[in-house]
Amino acid sequence: MKTAVLFGAGQAGAAVLRLLYGYEPLCFADNDEKKRGGEFCSLPVLSAAEALALGPDCVFICVTDAARAAQMRAQLDGLGCAAEVRDALSLRVFDARAAAARLLAERISARGVGGDAAELGVYRGEFAALINAALPERRLHLFDTFTGFDAADVAAERALGLSAAGTGDFSATARETVERRLPRPEQAVFHVGRFPESFAGCEGLRFCLVSIDADLYAPTAAALPLFYDRLSIGGAIIVHDAFGLQYPGAGRALEEFCAARGLTPVPAADIHGSAILVKQGG
Ligand SMILES: C[S@@+](CC[C@H](N)C(=O)[O-])C[C@H]1O[C@@H](n2cnc3c(N)ncnc32)[C@H](O)[C@@H]1O
């Protein structure tokens, strides 16, 4: 079997390691000295030079930023890298979460699973547009402050020792930005403000497909029971960052919810670390 070094011991590296097929991973390489000497995903973390000395057949550059990937490729050239070099930039384009959402939407439509679609954490509407296109006949409820992370949620995040989120992160958006992006904007219902307060008035709704992408512990923990209890049989919730490293609060909230309800989240195995919950009947 061919051997591989994964250059970049972060979220993209973890995703590439899980997706790797037909290669024996030897180690991670990383330019951050603080990561070196230890392990990441049960593999040693070495410098790029040390990793190349192992003679891998292939080096996978595990970042999703094109400029950084180019720098790392140049660094490998400078070290006289003889291995094939591949990057993970295509994971941004060929997105397992997008594919999973489209397949779930097809199934929901074909089976006549009832209810509206929704997203908590809309930002500029990239994923909301995908849901809107995949379920064009359904209402799409969009929940966001549209002023970025709320101070109370950030305080909770700090108190729990979770992410380094800052108040107002993701504020560079507006309702109009999202409206312009949606292929069927007439289906959108905007719930502007802090979740869960912005859920007021939605108690009587049913949902078929929900994306929870609020990054932080507090809104994710509040959203899971509110949406899951209103999810139709055969409906699904996609939780962003459930297996991610940057915002561990989303994963903690999902773990707690699943433990309390006896549920098992299914990994989407995407670069975002998403998980899927399908409401089962019976
Ligand atoms: C990562 S962004 C969402 C990205 C988006 N789904 C996309 O496809 O590009 C996270 C969003 O969650 C929103 N958010 C976080 N906590 C919130 C809360 N308590 N209430 C409402 N929105 C919240 C932020 O304002 C931000 O726009």
Q: Quick check: CB of 95 below 6 Å from ligand 1? A: no
DSSP secondary structure of 66-110: HHHHHHHHHHHHHTT--SEEEESTHHHHS-HHHHHHHHHHHHHHH
**pTM summary value:** 0.92
Domains belonging to the chain, first-starting first, are 2-93 (3.40.50.720), 96-278 (3.40.50.150)
Ligand 1 atom 21: residue of nearest CA: 144
Mean pLDDT of the chain: 96
Q: Is 39 in the pocket of ligand 1 (CB under 6 A)?
A: no
**DSSP character for 220?**
H
Average pLDDT of span 103-113: 98
Residue 149: what pLDDT? 98
Q: Above 80 in pLDDT, residue 282?
A: no
Q: Tell how far the Cα of 145 is from the centroid of ligand 1, in angstroms.
A: 7
Report the C-alpha gap between 225 and 248 in whole angstroms: 19
CA-to-CA distance for 138 and 100, rounded, in angstroms?
18
Average pLDDT over residues 210-216: 98
Statement: residue 245 has pLDDT above 90: no
Cα 213 to ligand 1 centre (Å): 6
Average pLDDT over residues 76-102: 94
Q: With contact defined as beta carbons under 8 Å apart, do 227 and 210 qualify?
A: yes
Mention every residue, 6+ apart, whose C-beta is less than 8 A from residue 164: none
CB 276 within 8 A of CB 265: yes
Position 227 pLDDT exceeds 90: yes
Distance 242 CA to ligand 1 centre (A): 15
User: Cα–Cα distance between 131 and 179 in angstroms, integer?
Assistant: 13
Mean predicted confidence (pLDDT) in 167-183: 97
- Asked which of 88-97, 118-127, 170-179, 209-218 is least confident by mean pLDDT, the reply is 88-97
Ligand 1 pocket, residue 148 CB under 6 Å: yes
For residue 128, the ligand 1 atom closest to its alpha carbon is 8
Band of residue 30 on the pLDDT scale cut at 50, 70, 90? very high
Ligand 1 centroid–CA 184 distance in Å is 21
- Among protein residues, the one whose CA lies closest to atom 11 of ligand 1: 121
Is the C-beta atom of 197 inside 6 A of ligand 1? no
CA atoms within 13 A on the CB side of 45: 18
Nearest residue by C-alpha to atom 13 in ligand 1: 121
Cis peptide before 25 (omega within 30 of 0): no
pLDDT-above-70 percentage for the chain:
100
CA 238 to ligand 1 center in whole angstroms: 14
215: CA distance to ligand 1 center in Å? 7
Chain centroid to Cα 100, Å, comes to 12
